[in-house]
Amino acid sequence: MERSEQSERSAEQRARRAARPYDLVLFGATGFVGTLTAEYLAAHSPQGCRWALAGRSAAKLERLREKLAAIDPACASLPLITADSADPESLRALAESARVVVTTVGPYVWYGEGLVAACAEAGTDYLDLTGEPEFVDTMYVRHDARARETGARLVHACGFDSVPCDLGVYYTVQQLPEGVPLRVDGFVRSNAMFSGGTLASAITAMGRGPQQLRAARERRLHEPRLVGRRARAPLGAPHFSRETGAWALPLPVLDPVVVARSASASARYGPDFRYRHFAAVRRLPLALGAVAGAGAAFGVAQVPAARRFLINRYEPGTGPDQERRDRSWFSLRFVGEGGGRRVFTEVSGGDPGYDETAKILAEGALSLAFDELPSLAGQLTTVTAMGDALLERIQKAGIRFRVADAR
């Protein structure tokens, strides 16, 4: 298709979306992170933003609306939409009512595909906070092509998974020379706690190793290959990091995969880009304990009965209270080098899994709804979809990005 035809079609798609009743809808609003996201939107959404709450229970949505009205009296008239991940017709109606749909309903591998499919079909921008690689890969294979046709942007992992890492590497790369091979290592530290929903997603992912590998292989068959450039995220090996003064333990999570996909989409990352992602642990006994604990959790997750027990033991919808979250923090330190230059950067903030995740998710939704963004469609990373716009938003919201040193 010629560029003029693509531009014309994009303009028609934007016009149709602009006529919809809502700028954004928050699905799963009454869950733990959903409620925090709704509270953030109540306090920070711009004047004139047309947004609505969606979920399975009308009674719970009404109680949440009353709570939000204490933050902003205008929220007393927020529209409520009843929808269920098991009801495709309700998801279709939800997707067709909004320009952007945000969902906190996980584990996504169980409950997420219906909404992705509905948004891809309706040309609706979609945003979630999944950290599940299998889900992301499967959604690419099944729905990326249709989303490109309809103009929908499908953006996964717009929470602590994986925005601080993705944007942090993007920020680090901007401090390095262009057109040269680049190497970046990331080191994450935090004292935060899990919620029931996060634990359910993590345990589910650990117990689906064969399915994850199969989904990754299938994606590679569909994904176009880079020509003339290379972007990769190898696991790395445990080691003592002199740059951070901590033991570095490789983290087999979604974050480095997202970074590599952002790098694949942009020549700014250089002709040969490599990223490695580690947990930083100050003391060797703690590092050894962390390795043993991760191994034990992985082993338990392979036993269906034990997996169900853990998920039921910490019910989704529950999480740490405000006092505990106020004491929580995270720090992501990056060491980047290339072209004879070395730079040390840091991304830091408060409670990562809940307060900061809700903030990032809400700002991501507002960015998709209101910012001038690249004319792209299909499954995109947060850097590819929103880049500088989201970086500016979350910095203004209190998440800190800084250059600690450069040589």
64 and 44 belong to one structural domain: yes
Sign of the CA dihedral with 240 first, then 175, 402, and 190 last: negative
Q: In this structure, are 172 and 308 located in the same domain?
A: yes
List pLDDT tens digits, range 194-218: 544 455 555 566 667 788 899 999 9
Residues 34, 140 within the same domain: yes
What b/e string do you get for 192-230 counting C-beta neighbours within 10 Å, with b at 16 or more? Answer: bbebbbbbbbbbbbbbbeeebeebeeebeeeeeeeeeee
In whole angstroms, what is the distance from residue 142 CA to residue 318 CA?
32
Does one domain contain both 141 and 243?
Answer: no
pLDDT of residue 148: 98
In terms of pLDDT, which residue wins out, 301 or 82?
Answer: 82
Q: Which residues contact 225 (CB under 8 A, 6 or more apart)?
A: none
pLDDT at 120 over 80: yes
> 4-8, 183-187, 296-300: lowest mean pLDDT where?
296-300
pLDDT grade, residue 167 (50/70/90)?
very high
Selected residue with higher pLDDT from 139 and 297 = 139
282 confidence band (pLDDT: 50, 70, 90): confident
CATH number, domain with residue 33 = 3.40.50.720
CA–CA distances in Å: residue 201 to residues 60, 133, 380:
23, 11, 21
Number of domains in the chain: 2
Q: Same domain for 183 and 151? A: no
pTM of the model: 0.90
228 and 364 housed in the same domain: no
Domain that holds residue 174: 163-351+400-406
What is the percent of the chain where pLDDT is above 90? Answer: 72
Shared-domain flag, residues 297 and 386: no
CB 271 within 8 A of CB 184: no
Mean pLDDT computed over every residue of the chain: 88
d(CA 377, CA 153): 5
Mean pLDDT to the nearest integer, 86-109: 96
Judgement on whether residues 229 and 327 belong to the same structural domain of the protein: yes
56 Cβ neighbours under 8 A, 6+ residues apart? 82, 83, 84
Could you tell me if 196 and 341 lie in one domain?
Answer: yes
Q: Do 178 and 108 fall within a single domain?
A: no
Residues 283 and 385 in one domain: no
Report the chain's C-alpha Rg in angstroms: 21
Question: Are 168 and 155 within one domain?
Answer: no
